[in-house]
Amino acid sequence: MTEQQPTSLRERQKEDRKARIIAAAKSLFLEAGLEKITMEAIAEIAGVSSVTVHNYYGTKSGVLLALVAESDRELLATLERGLRARGETLTDRVLGFFEIVCRHTQTHLDKAIWRQVIAASVSGTEPRFGKLYHELDNRLASVLIREVERMVGAGILPETVDPAHLGWALFNLQNARFIEFIAADGSSCEAGLQHLRNDLNALMPGGFPGR
Amino acid sequence: MTEQQPTSLRERQKEDRKARIIAAAKSLFLEAGLEKITMEAIAEIAGVSSVTVHNYYGTKSGVLLALVAESDRELLATLERGLRARGETLTDRVLGFFEIVCRHTQTHLDKAIWRQVIAASVSGTEPRFGKLYHELDNRLASVLIREVERMVGAGILPETVDPAHLGWALFNLQNARFIEFIAADGSSCEAGLQHLRNDLNALMPGGFPGR
DNA sequence: CAAAATTCTTTAGTCAATAAAAAATTTGAG
DNA sequence: CTCAAATTTTTTATTGACTAAAGAATTTTG
């Protein structure tokens, strides 16, 4: 994530502490369940006081969001790459998007963590939090928007299509199924794909809007 | 809401306590903000111990869900009634659905309460909770599904449409914008409507799928 | 180098949530 | 009607998230 300009000593120390904190959180998460992640435990491993963790990340969910955000760049790269290897209908692209996000989630983090993060983003107690989370959403939605733009440019979709509107609509649709996927430990990526396929077929019978 | 069979004394007492608890929560919510609603305060007004409130409703959000569920029946009635007074396109019906839900929300409860409830439904710590909330969603989605069924029956939509699939897709779309509406105190019903209109136009340019 | 500014830690407290023991009360048997 | 058994609530105690304020360091700056 493009570090640069190691300005003052103070700022370097702060960056270092922050890094230690999320490293501590990650290590705790790897060796035990979410229950084991207490702010005290994180603080102790990171070598700071628990108040400092709060000051940096606001809430426990804030720390978890940092974990989520870490794998964000990687997810975006995988998306850009993986989306091309799909069918040529818009439906295929959205399904591909969903599948990549789900698999990435399964590989990199626990559903329980995502639940906490999403819940916190909705409850909106922490102002910083909502902003950060919304940025992630924006970046993800942008992938779909660019995909629509590309298809309009290639003449696959008519000029009348507004890429931003269609992209966001598709993202929201997909996101609803992602949340469903996250919500229950039992629900599989395949089930989510099937549901999303049904959604898209119902709204866009031919694989494209307004056909 | 259709009381019946006052079985044993114990069960009657329990129902009475439950009623007192949600009444207490409601009174507290009316005279002060969400911050003022502590489990202790609720318990004190209801004349029970705070542990009892936890035993009955699991979490504080559980109590709030009971508040939300209370106005559920009324919302459903308003929906059935109000939806008929709309335009004849599917888009118009979905927009009407969204508008009624938003206005009902504004009238009856605070956004902050909805945020807590939705967040708790996602985080899924309390198992009973997720079940209850999902039932609310099911009832709401059913309204849209029945609307689609009606339109198929009336020949407005082709027989090839699966009402359940289309109904859920539209509900999810609408719900994403509802959550957006809830998420920020500043966001208006009108802005949500505009966003949803954009979503629907992008996916169903003619006001119906596959046209 | 010393005063000033910044930042962390300590300390103390509130509140949600949970567990276990203790107390009260309904219920059911005689 | 009474007393033991079953159920349920309250009491008590603890953990952990989160916040506020005062105090302790340490970097920064003149």
**DSSP track, A138-163:** HHHHHHHHHHHHHHHHTTSS-TT--H
Instruction: Supply A151's token pair.
Output: 């298809």
Same-domain check for residues B53 and B86: no
Name the closest residue on chain B to residue A124, using Cα atoms: B183
How far, in Å, is the CA of B59 from the C1' of nucleotide C15? 13
> Do the Cβ atoms of B122 and A118 come within 8 Å?
yes
Same domain, B109 and B70: yes
Q: Whose structure tokens read 């990526």?
A: A189
What CATH number is associated with residue A93? 1.10.357.10
Whether residues B124 and B180 fall in one domain: yes
Do the beta carbons of residue A39 and residue A60 sit within 8 Å?
yes
Q: Is residue A138 part of a domain?
A: yes
A81 and A139 share a domain? yes
DSSP secondary structure of B9-44: HHHHHHHHHHHHHHHHHHHHHHHS-GGG--HHHHHH
* A52 CA vs C8 C1’ separation (Å): 7
Q: Which of B62, B70, B171, B66 is nearest to B120 (CA)?
A: B62
Q: How many Å separate Cα A183 from the centre of its chain? A: 15
Alpha-carbon span B173 to A41, nearest angstrom = 40
Is B13 at the interface with chain A, CB within 8 A? no
Per the domain annotation, does A24 fall within a domain? yes
**Terminal C-alpha separation, chain A:** 42
A209 and B204 within 8 Å at the Cβ level: the answer is: yes
Residues of A in contact with B179 (CB under 8 A): 122
Q: Which residues of B touch A123 (CB under 8 A)?
A: 115-116, 118-119
Q: Are residues B142 and B180 in the same domain?
A: yes
Asked if B34 and B107 sit in the same domain, the reply is no
pLDDT of residue B5: 52
Per-residue DSSP letters for A59-82? SHHHHHHHHHHHTHHHHHHHHHHH
- A157 and A114, same domain (yes or no): yes
Residue B119 shares a structural domain with residue B33: no
Quote the tokens at residue B9: 């004394």
Indicate the pLDDT class of residue A204, thresholds 50, 70 and 90: very high
pLDDT of chain B, 211 residues: tens digit per residue = 444 455 888 899 999 999 999 999 999 999 989 999 999 999 999 999 999 999 999 999 999 999 999 999 999 999 999 998 888 899 999 999 999 999 999 999 999 999 999 999 999 888 788 889 999 999 999 999 999 999 999 999 999 999 999 999 999 999 999 999 999 999 999 999 999 999 999 999 989 898 6
The whole domain housing B117 covers 66-203
Protein residue at shortest CA distance from C1' of C7: A10
Q: Are A40 and A74 contained in the same domain? A: no
Q: Please tell me the predicted confidence (pLDDT) of residue A76.
A: 96
| Averaged confidence pLDDT in chain A | 93
Structural contact between residues B102 and B178, judged by C-beta atoms closer than 8 angstroms: yes
> In the structure encoding, which two tokens stand for residue A46, read together?
């990171």
**Can you tell me which residue has the tokens 């956004």?**
B111
Q: What pLDDT digit, counting tens, does each position of A105-146 carry?
A: 999 999 999 999 999 999 988 888 888 999 999 999 999 999
pLDDT for B88: 85
Has residue B145 been placed in a domain? yes
Best residue of A64, A123, A157, A181 to probe chain B, by most B CBs closer than 10 Å: A123
Q: How many residues comprise chain A?
A: 211
Domain count, chain A: 2
Is the residue at B48 inside a domain?
Answer: yes
pTM (global) more than 0.85: yes
Distance B8 CA to C30 C1' (A): 22
Examine residue A127 and state whether it is found in any structural domain, yes or no: yes
- Block residue for tokens 């710590």: B125
Q: In this structure, is the dihedral angle defined by the CA atoms of residues A57, A61, A67 and A72, taken in order, positive or negative? A: negative
Do both B15 and B118 map to the same domain?
no
Q: Evaluate whether residue A173 is within a structural domain.
A: yes
Tens-place pLDDT, residues A54-71: 999 999 999 999 999 999
Q: Is residue B133 part of a domain?
A: yes
Q: Say whether both A169 and A111 belong to one domain.
A: yes
Tokens of A161: 């299509």
Q: Could you say which DSSP state residue B155 is in?
A: T
- Give me the residues of A, 130-149, that contact B with CB < 8 A: 130
Does the pLDDT at position A5 exceed 60? no
Most A-contacting residue of B137, B165, B171, B211 (CB-CB within 10 A), to test interface: B165
Beta-carbon contacts of residue B173 (< 8 Å; ≥ 6 apart): A169, A172, A173, A176, B94, B196, B199, B200, B203
Looking up residue A19, the CATH number of its domain turns out to be 1.10.10.60
Would residue B208 count as lying in a domain? no
Same domain, B148 and B79: yes
Taking the C1' atom of every nucleotide in all shown strands and the CA of B41, the nearest one is: C15
Please report, for residues B189, B194, B211, the alpha-carbon distance to residue B147 in angstroms, rounded to integers and kept in the order given.
22, 22, 19
The DSSP annotation for B32-97 comes to S-GGG--HHHHHHHHTS-HHHHHHHHSSHHHHHHHHHHHTHHHHHHHHHHHHTTS-SSHHHHHHHH
Q: What tens digit of pLDDT does each residue of A86-104 get? A: 888 999 999 999 999 999 9
B181 and B187 Cβ atoms separated by less than 8 Å = yes
Question: Do B104 and B71 touch, CB atoms closer than 8 A?
Answer: yes
